[in-house]
Copies of this chain bind each other. A is one copy, B any other.
Amino acid sequence: MAGLSIGELARRTGVHIETIRYFEKVDLLDVPDRTEGGHRVYAEKHVRALSFIKRARELGFTPKEIRAILGLGGPGKACCDEVQEIAVHHLEQVRSKIADLAQLERLLASTIERCSGGHVPDCPVIDMLESTPA
């Protein structure tokens, strides 16, 4: 129980080996110990950190945001105003994206509805694409 190889870490967390090495390179993941031969040896904290990173990525946090959160003490340490701030900012972006997509959804749906679907020279979809944005 002296530590995990990169392959075991990958299997445990579901993160590709190359991606783990990439995270290390871009300073998202702490550098692990090495064997005499140079193989990486990971501890439990790496499993936690990597799971944290993975989860945050799934939730759409950018690497920059993740680094910011990790830099504030990382998982399991302390909650600060800054963590909340990042999350709030992220939430705002999510909401704005939802609004954009909802508008697009309405435009697309109403356009398609008007579509006859045959081989006619008048196409609402094409019209929509040719018209200038609102």
Question: B125 contacts A83, CB within 8 Å?
Answer: yes
Given A117-B81, A125-B79: A87 in contact with B111 (beta carbons within 8 A): yes
1/0 contact string of A35-72 vs chain B (CB within 8 Å):
00000000000001001100110111000000001000
Instruction: Tell whether A17 is near chain B: CB-to-CB under 8 Å.
Output: no
1/0 contact string of A94-120 vs chain B (CB within 8 Å):
110110011011011101100111111
Interface secondary structure of A, over-half rule: helix
Copies of this chain, tallied across the complex: 2
- A interface residues (Cβ-Cβ under 8 A, vs B): 48, 51-52, 55-56, 58-60, 69, 75-81, 83-84, 87-88, 90-91, 94-95, 97-98, 101-102, 104-105, 107-109, 111-112, 115-126, 129-133
Q: Which residues of B contact A105 (CB under 8 A)?
A: 91, 94-95, 98
Q: A106 to nearest B CB, angstroms? A: 10
Question: A79 contacts B130, CB within 8 Å?
Answer: no
The contact sample of 19 A-B pairs, CB cut-off 8 A, is A51-B132, A55-B133, A59-B107, A75-B126, A75-B130, A77-B121, A78-B119, A79-B115, A79-B123, A80-B119, A80-B123, A81-B117, A83-B125, A83-B126, A84-B117, A94-B101, A94-B104, A97-B101, A98-B98
